[in-house]
């Protein structure tokens, strides 16, 4: 977005690195050869594993579910079907976002908090997704070296977050590849315009107002003029030019759909994020006590009170909101969490059961309710979460909860199989293989389960062997 995003500025002679996330970019430019989807996915795995070691991710389950759902709505309006998109939120106040190989897209919390509506947030996401659908990203990294693609992606991640891991960044510099990676990661003007154009098409097809992309451009341009983000690489390396804004505005007006649909979830997601990251929750809650009148502001105040340890006051606010809006998912889950913190599990269970009746199969509600049932009714939790995993087989939170429920219910083989599936989704393949081998040993008398687990082990071993082969080819 708005020059999305800055190129890596680290050269072999660079004396120092800036902040830990100053230089996280989009990466992309066509190269002389095509790369396979398997290579691209391997690059994405390497990049994200390195990033997870160095970045702090927002863990709010409902917020992450909202961002992923928003991305999936956009993906449905694109022509991309090679692999799914994965969306994460990095806890950092910078206005930034980036796409990585394999469909991984990360938004910085500072960017989300500075959007004014869902159309602006969707505009950022659609722009990043366009870099993926045009395959700008993986090809660029792949063309930078004959090294192992996974190693290269990991080194790129180390450079991009080098401020928090200077040893890793220095190693890349000493290898003499930092300059090469910089050349491959920097975006061209044509790529930015293409991402704008494709992003606007995605927005329109998904029922968003493409003007949201333009209004965010304009916001960044105004802030650049004020000098507020003079040190922000997003603006400094790829400025939001007048021509770019004008062209995007023309395209957005022409592409505006006849009906625009925005979800009320956006306001609650933003409030939840602001409350979770507020450095002075009690002081902010005190200010909101004087000004909060609308439901979203009161919800934010309740979350702040909870963070400050004022659970009874938070409960009173949330109960009042819930009585007037029993179909509000954000208020209901926050009320259940507050009741649970106050050791009122039975009341929390009743709230979640009512919510699940309104939102059948919702993965976050199911996960929360299943975990509450585990202590007293592990078989009931097991049955609920087993069905949820069948409906959401790639949901890591549900997989982990189901594994715990199976263990609590004494179903050891299923516990280890579920943990194996969890590690597969996390791309921690050696750990996945170990869990699945344990599950296989515990399933000796169950032919069907053993055949299923054998197939999973074969799949994992094939991926491990293929990764090793790619490493040897490029070493």
- Tell me which residues are annotated as active site: 128
Q: Supply 335's token pair.
A: 């009320």
Q: Supply 355's token pair.
A: 């919510």
Query: Positive or negative CA dihedral for 370, 374, 376, 380?
Result: positive
Question: Contact, 418 vs 389, CB < 8 A?
Answer: yes
Could you tell me how far CA 449 lies from the centroid of its own chain? 33
Q: Supply 299's token pair.
A: 């919800």
Question: Contact, 351 vs 321, CB < 8 A?
Answer: no
Scanning the structure block, which residue is given the tokens 């996390």?
Answer: 426
- In sequence order, the 6+-apart residues with CB closer than 8 A to the CB of 87 are 64, 67, 68, 70, 71, 105, 106, 107, 125
* Calpha distance 340→334 (Å, rounded): 10
Q: What SS3 state is found at 290?
A: helix
Classify each residue of 105-119 as buried b or exposed e, where b means 16 or more C-beta atoms within 10 Å of its C-beta.
bbbbbbbbebbebbb
- In sequence order, the β-bridge partners of residue 308 are none
Question: Contact, 3 vs 187, CB < 8 A?
Answer: yes
Question: Contact, 121 vs 62, CB < 8 A?
Answer: no
Scanning the structure block, which residue is given the tokens 């979640």?
Answer: 352
Classify each residue of 129-148 as buried b or exposed e, where b means 16 or more C-beta atoms within 10 Å of its C-beta.
bbbbbbbbbbbbbbbbbebb
DSSP designation for 188 = P
* Calpha distance 134→65 (Å, rounded): 26
* Calpha distance 348→354 (Å, rounded): 10
- In sequence order, the 6+-apart residues with CB closer than 8 A to the CB of 227 are none
* Calpha distance 242→232 (Å, rounded): 18
Q: Supply 337's token pair.
A: 């969490």
* Cis peptide bond upstream of 352, omega within 30: no
* Calpha distance 374→405 (Å, rounded): 6
> How many Cβ atoms sit within 10 Å of the Cβ of residue 372?
20
């Amino acid at each position: 977005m708005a020059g999305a995003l800055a190129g890596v500025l680290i050269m072999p002679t660079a004396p120092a690195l800036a902040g830990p996330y100053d230089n996280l970019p989009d990466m992309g430019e066509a190269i002389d050869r095509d790369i396979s989807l398997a290579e691209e996915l391997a690059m994405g795995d390497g990049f994200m594993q390195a990033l997870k070691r160095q970045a702090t991710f927002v863990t709010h389950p409902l917020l992450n579910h909202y961002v992923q759902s928003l991305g999936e709505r956009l993906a449905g309006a694109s022509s991309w079907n090679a692999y799914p998109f994965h969306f994460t939120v990095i806890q950092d106040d910078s206005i930034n976002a980036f796409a990585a190989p394999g469909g991984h897209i990360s938004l910085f919390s500072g960017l989300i908090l500075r959007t004014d509506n869902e159309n602006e947030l969707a505009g950022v996401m659609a722009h990043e997704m366009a870099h993926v659908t045009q395959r700008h990203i993986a090809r660029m990294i792949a063309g930078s070296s004959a090294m192992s693609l996974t190693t290269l992606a990991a080194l790129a991640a180390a450079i991009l977050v080098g401020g928090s891991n200077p040893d890793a960044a220095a190693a890349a510099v000493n290898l003499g590849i930092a300059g090469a990676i910089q050349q491959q990661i920097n975006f061209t003007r044509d790529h930015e315009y293409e991402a704008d154009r494709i992003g606007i098409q995605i927005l329109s097809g998904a029922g968003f107002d493409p003007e949201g992309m333009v209004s965010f451009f304009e916001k960044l341009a105004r802030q650049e003029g004020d000098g507020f983000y003079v040190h922000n690489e997003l603006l400094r390396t790829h400025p939001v030019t007048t021509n770019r804004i004008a062209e995007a505005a023309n395209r957005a007006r022409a592409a505006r759909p006849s009906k625009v649909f925005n979800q009320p979830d956006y306001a609650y997601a933003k409030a939840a994020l602001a409350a979770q990251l507020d450095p002075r929750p009690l002081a902010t809650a005190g200010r909101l006590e004087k000004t909060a009148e609308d439901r979203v502001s009161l919800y934010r105040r309740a979350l702040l009170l909870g963070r400050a340890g004022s659970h009874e006051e938070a409960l009173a606010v949330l109960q009042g909101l819930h009585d007037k809006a029993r179909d509000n998912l954000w208020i209901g889950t926050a009320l259940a969490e507050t009741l649970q913190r106050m050791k009122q599990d039975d009341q929390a269970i009743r709230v979640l059961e009512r919510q699940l009746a309104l939102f059948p199969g919702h993965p976050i509600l199911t996960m929360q309710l299943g975990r509450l049932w585990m202590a007293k009714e592990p078989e009931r939790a097991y049955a609920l979460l087993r069905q949820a995993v069948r409906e959401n087989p790639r949901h890591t939170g549900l997989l982990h909860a189901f594994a715990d429920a199976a263990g609590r219910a004494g179903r050891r083989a299923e516990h280890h199989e579920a943990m194996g599936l969890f590690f597969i989704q996390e791309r921690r393949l050696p750990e996945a293989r170990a869990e699945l081998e344990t599950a296989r040993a515990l399933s000796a008398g169950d032919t069907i389960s053993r055949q299923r687990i054998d197939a999973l082990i074969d799949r994992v071993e094939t991926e491990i062997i293929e990764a090793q082969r790619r490493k040897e080819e490029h070493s």
